[in-house]
Amino acid sequence: MNTLKIKLLSFILLFGLGLFSVKAQEKIDQVEALLSKMTLEEKIGQLNLLTPGGGIATGSVVSKNVEAKIKAGQVGGLFGVAGPEKVRQAQKIAIENSRLKIPLLIGSDIIHGYKTTFPIPLGTAASWDLELIKKMAETAAKEATADGINWNFSPMVDIARDPRWGRIAEGAGEDPFLGSAIATAMIKGYQGTDLKKPNTMMATVKHLVLYGAAEGGRDYNSVDMGKVKMYNQYLPVYKAAVDAGVGSAMTSFNDIDGVPASGNKWMITDLLRKQWGFEGMVVSDYTSVNEMVAHGLGDLQTVSALALNAGLDMDMVGEGFLTTLKKSVEEGKVSEESITQACRRILTAKYNLGLFDDPYLYADESRPEKDILSQENRKLAREAARQSFVLLKKHENVLPLQKSAKIALVGPLANNKNNMLGTWAPTGDPQLSVPVFEGFKNVAPKAKINYAKGANITNDPDLAKRANVFGTRVEIDERSPETLLNEALKLAANSDVIVAVVGEASEFSGEAASRTNLSLPESQKRMLTELSKIGKPMVIVLMSGRPLTIEDEFALPASILQVWHAGIEAGNAIADVVFGDYNPSGKLTATWPRNVGQVPVYHSMKNTGRPIEADNFQKFKSNYLDVVNTPLFPFGYGLSYTEFGYKNLKVQHSEIAQNEAVEISVEVTNTGDFDGAEIVQLYLRDVVRSITPPMRELKGFTKVFLKKGETKTVKLTLQPNDLKFYNGALEFVAEPGDFEIFVGTNSQAELKASFKLN
C-alpha cells in the first residue's frame, strides 16, 4: 500500500474516532445538563416503570394513576402500551405536561415475533441458523417499532436443563455455546448498528442470573449453585449478550447465594458491571423488588434500598423505589448519588434511542399498515417454522406423504388456531394463525383430507382451567371421549394414512407453567394407541414447548415429527414438511429424557469415578436399576428424509501452541434419496485437567446443504478460547494436555480425532 493511501486511511480513521468522541461527549453533556436540573423526586421518578394495563402482564399488579404520575415526573417508562396514536399520547403527556419534558421508554415482551409470530424460541433454536434468527429479530423490531415500542424485554438466554421448567420454551436450550451464539444474533437483529434508527429497538438480556436452574423445575424457585459450575456452564450466555452490546439487562426472580437477584450486589455490580464492563441500564423483573419481602429480607423500604445499593436502576411495576427511596435518603440508607447514577443510565438509554432528538420517533402512524403482518414477514415465519421442525422417528418411509393421498387428519391440535402461536405471544392474534387442517389443504389441494378431533387435549377440567388464563387453549368437548375416539377410528379405517396432531396446549409451557408429568395427557395417549391398532401408516405430529417423555409413543409403529408451537404460519409450514416440499433439518437443543426420573440429563454431563460402559447395567456403578442412563433423544439429535455419512475427520496439526486456533475438516456425504441440509456438530473433550471436565462440550457447528449423492468437505475451527475454562480459582485458562474432538450429527457422534495443547 502506498504512502498516500496510508495517510488517507489514517485520516479517515482519526476523523471517525474524533466524530465518535464528539458525539459521545455531546451525549454526556446533555445527560449531565439534564441531571443538574432534576430534583431528587424527579430522579426517583425516572426509576419507575409502570403498566397502565390493557395488555397481558406477568403479574397481578396493574399500575394506578399513571397519567397523573407522568405529569408529576414520576414515570420513566411504560409497557403494555402499543400503537402509534397511544404512544404519541403517552409521550405528549410527558413532553407537554411534566416540568422537564423527559420522554418515556416504551417497553414490551416481544419474545418470538410481534404481530408476525415466529416459532417459540426453543423451536427457532433448533434451526441452528444464526442468520435466520437474526432476521427474525430484525423483523420483530421492525414491526414493534412501527407500533411505537422502543424497548424489548428479550432475548431470554437462560440455560435450561430441566424440562419441568415451563420457561424452557422461551430460551435456546441447554448449551452455553449455542445459546451465546443465538443471543448475539438476536441482539444484533433487534438493535442493528444504530439505535436511533426508527426500525431498531433496545434489547434486554434476561434473566440475570441462573433463572433456568430453579430447583425442581418450579418457576421462581430458589437456585443453589457453586461458582465453578456457574462460570463454566450458566454465565457465558449472559456475558455473550453484554459483549454483543445489549442495551439493558433484567434481573431474575431467584436468589443467588441466598440473595435475590434484584438485590444482589455481587451479581449486578461486581459481575455484570465490573467484571464484564456492562454500561447499560438494569431493570427488575415484574415486582421482583417487592417480592424480596416474601423472600424474607425485610419490608418494602428495606428491600428497595437493598436493590438500589446493589446497582438496580429501574423498578418494574412495584413502585418501591418511588414510594420509599426519598425516605431512605433522608435516613442515610441510600445516597442521592446512587439515585443519580441510576437515573443517569436511564437517561443515557433514552438518548441512545434518539428520544431526546424526537420523542415521537416511534409514533409514525403510516408504518403499521406497511411494516406489520406483511406477506414478506409471513413468508419468513413460514420458513423459520419449517426449519425449526425436528424429525424424531422415521417409520417405513411413510414420510413424506403423497399429495394425492387419502388422509385421516386427527387430534385435538389438528384444527386448532388457539394453540399455534405458542406461549408468551401476547402481541400476536391466534385467529390469524394457520391451523394444520388449513395448511394441508393449501399445500396438497388434490389430497382427500378428512378431519376428526379424536380426543380432547386433556379431560381434566382443573388442568384446562389453569391453561386458559390468557384465553381458551383447552376446550373440553361436549361430546364424550368415546364419541370423539370412535369418530377418529372410523375415519382412519377408511383412509390411506393417519396424521395425528397431538401434544401440549400452548400454555402448558411458559411462565408459571411448570409440570411434573411430561407425558402426553391420557386422552391423547389412548387415542394414539387405538389408532395404531388399525394397521394404517401413521404420522404423529407433536407440538410442545418443552422436551416430553414419549417412550410409549416412540414404540408405536409411526413416524414422529416435532413441530413445537410453530407460530402464525404453523399449518402451512407443517404441511410443507409432511408433504416433502421441505426436508426437515432441525436438531434438538435440549435433551429429551426417557422419563422425569432422569432429569437433569444433558450432553455436557461429567463422568463419575464409577462410570458404566454403554448402557449395560453394573452393580456399584453410576446407573439406575430401572432405566438406562442415556436419554431417549440426545442433544443435537434430528433426522432427515435423507441420510448423511461422515468420514476423513482431520485435525490440521497434532500439536498446537497456546492461543493457536485448531483447524478441523471432515467429509460429509448425502447418502440418501433426497436433497437436504445437515447440521454438522463439533464436540470437545479435555481429557485431563485440574477440575473434572465434562464428557464433551459443543464447540462448533455449521449448516451445510447437500444434494443427494453429493460430498462436501466441511471445515470447522476451534478458537483459543474454546479450549479454556474457569478453574477452581475462577481463572479463565487453557491447560496443556490431550484433547479429543468428536464430529457428527448429534452429541453422541462417534467419529473422533485428537490433538495436544503444549
Nine-digit cell string for 665: 475438516
Rounded Cα gap, residues 486 and 504, in angstroms: 22
Sign of CA dihedral 531, 533, 538, 542: positive
Task: Report d(CA 119, CA 110) in Å as an integer.
Answer: 12
Say which amino acid occupies 641. Answer: Y
**Opening angle at CA 553, ends 550 and 558, nearest 5:** 135
From CA 435, how far away is CA 572, in angstroms rounded? 8
Whether 40 contacts 326, CB under 8 Å:
yes
SS3 call for 656 = strand
State how far the Cα of 321 lies from the Cα of 346, in Å rounded to an integer.
14
**Cβ neighbours around 440 below 10 Å, total:** 27
Q: What is the per-residue DSSP string for 668-684?
A: EEE-SSS-EEEEEEEEE
261: Cβ contacts below 8 Å, ≥ 6 apart: 207, 208, 209, 211, 251, 252, 253, 254, 255, 267, 268, 288
Instruction: List the grid coordinates of 299.
Output: 419490608
Task: Check the CA dihedral 23-25-27-33 and report its sign.
Answer: negative
Stated length of the chain: 758
Task: Report which residue type is found at 695.
Answer: M
Cβ within 8 Å of residue 482, ≥6 positions away: none
Is residue 285 flagged as an active site residue?
A: yes
Residue at grid coordinates 384446562: 464
Rounded (5°) CA angle 465-466-471: 70
| 77-79: strand order across its sheet | 151-152, 105-108, 77-79, 48-50, 315-316
DSSP state of 619: T
Q: Is the dihedral of CA 118, 429, 156, 211 positive or negative?
A: negative
DSSP single-letter state for residue 113: B
| SS3 state of residue 16 | helix
Per the CB < 8 A criterion, the answer to whether 542 and 548 are in contact is yes
| Sequential DSSP letters for 127-193 | T--HHHHHHHHHHHHHHHHHTT--EE---B------TTSGGGGGS--S-HHHHHHHHHHHHHHHHTT
Pairing of the two strands 559-562 and 390-393:
antiparallel
Amino acid making up residue 483: T
How distant, in Å, are the alpha carbons of 178, 706, 717 from that of 702?
A: 11, 13, 11
Question: What φ, ψ does residue 104 adopt, rounded to 5°?
Answer: -100, 145
**Amino acid present at 10:** S
Catalytic residue, candidates 109, 158, 285, 722 = 285
C-alpha count within 13 angstroms, C-beta hemisphere, residue 76 = 30
Alpha-carbon span 78 to 104, nearest angstrom: 7
Catalytic residues: 285
